């Protein structure tokens, strides 16, 4: 998932408000810059591939309508209508708002092989995706609340 940079160094990102894909710059900051705008927990999870404890994140049991955005850069990531209760203790979604907005990579940490999900615009660690989700995709995007910001409808 996700699209590489084009020849101008821009990437396509889908914007829900305008219902269109726009070419935008990648967001790159130093750890010191991220620390100035993120809480310690957000920094640990989103920038250092941490994981919040199950059932502790503010969105694991949230049922409000809205769009979940990247806590680091504000990119639209998940619609609340694609959220479901996976029973895992983390907010779970069966699809992102657009495949352009997330990217995946193999994660071989913790003595296992998983598929990590990152924000396509700023490379923020969001969580992992598994193939045990509900129809129609069969996917479970298991995300960390600390990497997300819900913008209510």
Query: Which residues have a catalytic role annotated?
Result: 142
| Residues 6+ positions from 79 with CB-CB distance below 8 Å | 16, 67, 68, 93, 97
Query: What are the counts of helices (DSSP H) followed by strands (DSSP E) for the chain?
Result: 3, 11
Using CA atoms, how far apart are residues 63 and 73, in angstroms rounded to an integer? 23
Q: Which two tokens stand for residue 133?
A: 């989700």
Chain mean position to CA 10: 19
């Amino acid at each position: 998932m996700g699209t590489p940079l084009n020849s101008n160094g821009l990437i396509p990102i889908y914007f829900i408000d305008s219902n269109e894909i726009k070419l935008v710059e990648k967001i790159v900051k130093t750890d010191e810059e991220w620390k100035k705008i993120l809480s310690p927990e957000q920094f640990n999870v989103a920038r250092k591939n941490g994981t919040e404890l199950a059932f502790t994140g503010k969105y694991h049991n949230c049922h409000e309508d809205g769009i979940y955005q990247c806590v680091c850069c504000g990119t639209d990531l998940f619609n609340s209508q694609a959220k479901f209760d996976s029973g895992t203790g983390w907010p779970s979604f069966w699809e992102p708002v657009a495949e352009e907005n997330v990217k995946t990579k193999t994660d071989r940490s913790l003595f296992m092989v998983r598929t990590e999900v990152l924000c396509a615009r700023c490379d923020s660690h969001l969580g992992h995706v598994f193939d045990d989700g509900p129809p129609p995709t069969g996917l479970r995007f298991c995300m960390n609340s600390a990497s997300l910001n819900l913008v209510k409808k």
